[in-house]
Structure 1
Amino acid sequence: MNKKVFNIIGWILLLGIIAWWFGIGYTDWNLLLLPAAYICFSISNGSIKNLKRVKMLSVSQVTIIVFTFIISIAVVFGLIQLAGYLIDNIFDLHGWIKTLFEYLAIILSLFPGVFLLASVMNKIDDRLNVNYIDSPEKTSAHDDLKTEASDMLKTMTEVQTIKSLRQRYSLSLIDAKNIVDSTKP
Structure 2
Amino acid sequence: MMKEQGARWGVNFKVWRSARVLKKLLARDDLTPERRTPPMIMSMSELRERAVRNQLAAGEQLLAYASVVPAAGAKGVSVNLGGVLANDLMSQVGAQGGMAGGIASQMPATSGALLLRVTDQRVGLVKPLDGTPVWEVPRAWVARVERRPRLQLMARFRVHYADGSWLAFLTMRRRNIEQFRALLG
**TM-score past 0.5 threshold:** no
Specify which structure has the higher proportion of helix: 1
Q: Which has the higher strand share?
A: 2
When normalised by structure 1's length, the TM-score is 0.28
Task: State the TM-score, normalizing by the size of structure 2.
Answer: 0.28
Higher relative contact order by CA 8 Å / sep ≥ 6: 1 or 2?
2
